[in-house]
Structure 1
Amino acid sequence: MMQNDGRRAGFGMRAICFAMDTLGLSLLLALIDRYILVTSNTREYPMILTILSILYFFLLPVLWKGYTISKYFGSIRIAKVNEEPLTAYHLFMREVIGRFLLGFTTFGISNLISAFMVMFREDKRAIHDFIAGTFVVKVK
């Protein structure tokens, strides 16, 4: 097992950043609904939020060297285990396959297991980190 070199971000900061990103996306969706779509039909929310989430958690870290907005302010970012630059392939494997599709097909059980892995594994890697060869590193 890969040792924690002291740079690995733990469960608390990762969970806070994920919650803040999700809250931000939810607020964005509410604003889009209120001022652009002008509809009271909330049946589309889960689908639109899922699409926004995949785009946000996939595209932004690709373009911004492993950061999302909350990861930037939380001083953590996604990095490759072998220190190579992140690519769209790595983020696709991590977010779309490892987090979204695996979470969907296991009814969220893989996400729960991932949380425990980050809490209790010395290397602080979740299932989606193993799939993509990534980890979350403290920047400062």
Structure 2
Amino acid sequence: QKPEEHDSTSSHLAGMVTSGSNIYNLSSFSCLCKLDSGVWILDSGASDHMSYDQEALADIQVLQQPLSVTLPNGHRVMVHQYGKLHLSNNLVLEHVLVVPHFKYNLLSIKSLAHQTHCKVVFTESLCILQGPSLKRP
């Protein structure tokens, strides 16, 4: 779903970064990922991809309606823009929200799996992304 199609009354979550040993009680999980555009957190608790750094994104667009984003500290901020994140020449993530009041870059596991049709597996020491759109050239 495109950001401009979201209900303006709903909140988007930046996710609380938590982990645990029992996967059945795990509400969200995250890991760090170093890209050319900086450090990104793969976050299962994030509802959308989010970046504080507008310079890391391409094709910045203005949302038809601003979105309310709830940060991990509980503060709500309004988001007015989104863009594209070029992970590689053949892999571009759409609809990355620009959240200038946030200090992290988040890749939403839900959005990542949906956009790339990949399978995401967290192990004790790494995160594996596997899918047809992630083949090496």
TM over 0.5: no
- Higher Cα Rg: structure 1 or 2? 1
Bigger strand fraction: 2
* Range into which the TM-score falls when normalised by the shorter chain: under 0.3
Give the structure-2-normalised TM-score.
Answer: 0.27
Kindly indicate whether structure 1 or structure 2 has the higher relative contact order, using CA contacts under 8 Å at least 6 residues apart.
1
